[in-house]
A and B are shown apart, each in its own frame.
Chain A
């Protein structure tokens, strides 16, 4: 079955760039579907960050668009998130997921803390 796994630094300094990767197994990204990033600040709800198609087409949340870049590497079967100029408000669990309109499945999530 399709499985996703996030990886990346758990601690990022304010004003720096957060970088995460999502490795996909059990399905070839180049076969189709959108793939996305969602985040959840501690104790709060879910916020969609953006999604990418296997061809590289991207859609971003307007609230984050100026700071977000999502890319795909079909040769490694993974996609990545970069969020620039982070502040404490970007502290959250970051999830990757396959998007079929709805999101399924999800990765287990990775906590990223923004702190000096």
Chain B
């Protein structure tokens, strides 16, 4: 099983600032990585797939990078609606499909 580890657990950022979230895989997942955003009481929403391709309707301030075992989600200028929990997920080796434990982006 591939273990996905996200850091930090919580990120405190002021509106308008940049946020950088990390996701590490226990073994290479190539570029087969997705990022999701989840707000309280809502289902996760796909942001990024293929490590760097934005899903339909996702603003350009969200960008993904990385390959192999190290990945980054960057939010270039945080808006109020971006404060949420973010998860990464690998789909290179399955079963099982595995998620990171999440990073909470909170208002500083």
Contact = CB atoms under 8 A, between A and B. Distances in A.
A45 B99 contact: yes
A47 B34 CA distance: 15
A95 interface: yes
A105 B55 CA distance: 11
Contacts of B94: 59
A89 B41 CA distance: 20
B95 A103 contact: no
B86 to A, nearest CB: 11
A45 B91 contact: no
A108 B49 contact: no
B100 A48 contact: no
Q: For chain B, what secondary structure do more than half of its interface residues adopt (helix, strand, loop), or is it mixed?
A: loop
Contact of A109 (B43, B45, B89, B97): B43
A23 B66 CA distance: 36
B101 interface: yes
B99 A60 contact: no
Contacts of B20: none
Interface string A84-98: 000000000001000
A108 B99 contact: no
A102 B49 contact: yes
Contacts of A108: 42-43
A20 B99 CA distance: 22
Contacts of A59: 94-95
A48 B100 CA distance: 11
Nearest to B44: A106
A103 B94 CA distance: 14
Which residue of A46, A60, A106, A107 has the most chain B CB atoms within 10 A of its CB atom? A46
Interface of B: 1, 32, 34, 36, 42-46, 49, 55, 87, 89, 91, 94-102
Given A102-B46, A106-B45, 18 more contacts: A45-B99, A46-B99, A48-B95, A48-B96, A48-B97, A48-B99, A59-B94, A59-B95, A61-B95, A61-B96, A61-B97, A62-B95, A95-B44, A101-B32, A103-B89, A104-B46, A104-B49, A106-B44
